[in-house]
Structure 1
Amino acid sequence: EVYQRPYDPFNPVVCIDETNKQMIKEIRLPCEPSAPSGQKSNSFLGWISAWLRYRPWRASARLRPLPCPAKIPLQAQVRFLTGWSTRRPEKVDSVYIRNGVADVFMISEPLAGRRETIVTESRTALDFAEVLKYTSNVLYQRTEKIILVTDNLNTHSPASLYKAFPPKEARRLAERFEWHDIPKHGSWLDMAEIEIGVMNRQALSKPLPDLESFRQQIRAWTVNRNKEHAKINWQFKTQDARIKLARLYPIIL
């Protein structure tokens, strides 16, 4: 029913959700190739014996760490033989450093084709409270009421405001919102999920090395997306919901 309301700039429908992204810093520093244990014989029978002991078709063998003197974390190392020959096996290294996790809060107003993103280093109740305060005091300070749609997380409640702010300020902010929680296991009903999916495909398809480059990438995507005034054509109506989500609707006898 919330999504079927006509557009009202003084009572906007705003969807909020969050996601995270692993920061990946790639290092192109391959190690020296090394032969599997036992592969020392140049004879055909010796090679077959080493092949059977190595068993490269097993996932545990393919992902077995290789000896390397460099003090760099090696991830997903793969060793494979190049063919029926006695040559030493080749190796493909995917070498990177995990550089922390960045979180993105998506604030989407689907009927207006507007969205805002906030990058943080965590997504606790305090972070969510700060996002709500920014939404109320900066993005929609001239509105009468903000129709807020969030998924069913434990931090997505007015209680987060009382954890972050004094009671008077928390109550003021809580009254600025008309709260609508989507059903449990129904996060796809939050239209902010659609915006997050678009963001992941267009801006986060490649690894980013650090938080600063992540912020720049997200900001550039947000600005370009808002310039396009891209809206969401929501076609899931109440009648469809009563059929697909029949277990959530009471039966009146």
Structure 2
Amino acid sequence: MLVYSPQLNAAFVACMEDVLDLYQQPFDEASPVICMDEKPYQLLDEARTLIPMKPAKPERQDGEYIRQGTCSIFLFTEPLAGWHHVAVRERRTRIDWAHEIKELLEVHYSETSKIRLVMDNLNIHS
């Protein structure tokens, strides 16, 4: 059982309760529950050659790295069906988000008339 702090925003709590109610509903193939999230990711490379492991000694790594840019990882999952899809894009913009939603609806769930999509409340979704 979740306990909400009185300091939390009432609108946030109401939305969270809606999501928790949705998660408790039984599996419905005709109206799947899809969870979507995205994560920015930093691409790194080693600045120095790794020192190989030796018997009884762990591999040694230097903390220095070379930044090779960034990307954004989009993840869709239908937990009750065991389905997931991951896509990587150079950026995380509204256009990128829209392309991923389009693929979800037109490629992965083209035969489904209704999906219930659970997302966080980031600005790219508005």
Corresponding position of 1:156:
125
State yes or no: 1:3 paired with 2:23.
yes
Q: Which of the numbers 113, 130, 134 marks the counterpart of 2:99?
A: 130
CA–CA separation in structure 2 for the residues paired with 1:107 and 1:142:
17
Deviation at 1:134, TM superposition (A): 0.3
Corresponding position of 2:81:
112
State yes or no: 1:97 paired with 2:66.
yes
Identity %: 45
CA–CA separation in structure 1 for the residues paired with 2:62 and 2:27:
53
Alignment check: 8 A CA contact 1:10 1:143 kept: yes
CA–CA separation in structure 2 for the residues paired with 1:137 and 1:4:
27
Q: Which has the higher contact order (CA 8 A, sep 6+)?
A: 2
CA–CA separation in structure 2 for the residues paired with 1:128 and 1:94:
33
Q: Moved runs in structure 1, 4+ residues, more than 2 A?
A: 92-96
Alignment check: 8 A CA contact 1:10 1:142 kept: no
Q: What amino acid does structure 2 have at the position aligned with 1:104?
A: I
CA–CA separation in structure 2 for the residues paired with 1:11 and 1:117:
21
Structure 2 residue matching 1:127: 3-state secondary structure: helix
Q: State how 1:221-232 maps to structure 2 within 5 Å.
A: none
Corresponding position of 2:113:
144
Alignment RMSD: 1.7
Structure 1 residue matching 2:125: 3-state secondary structure: coil
Q: What amino acid does structure 1 have at the position aligned with 2:41?
A: K
Q: What amino acid does structure 1 have at the position aligned with 2:86?
A: T
The answer for unaligned runs of 5 or more in structure 2 is 1-20, 50-60
C-alpha change, 1:148 and 1:93, in structure 2 (3 Å) is closer
Q: How many equivalent pairs are there?
A: 95
Structure 1 residue matching 2:123: 3-state secondary structure: coil
Q: Deviations over 1:81-115 (max 9, x none)?
A: xxxxxxxxxxx954321001121001010111111
The answer for unaligned runs of 5 or more in structure 1 is 30-91, 158-253
Q: Which of the numbers 44, 66, 88 marks the counterpart of 1:24?
A: 44
Alignment check: 8 A CA contact 1:102 1:119 kept: yes
Q: State how 1:145-184 maps to structure 2 within 5 Å.
A: 145-157=114-126
State TM-score, norm by structure 2: 0.69
CA–CA separation in structure 2 for the residues paired with 1:93 and 1:116:
34
Q: What amino acid does structure 2 have at the position aligned with 1:95?
A: E
Higher strand share: 2
Alignment check: 8 A CA contact 1:109 1:115 kept: yes
Structure 2 residue matching 1:102: 3-state secondary structure: strand
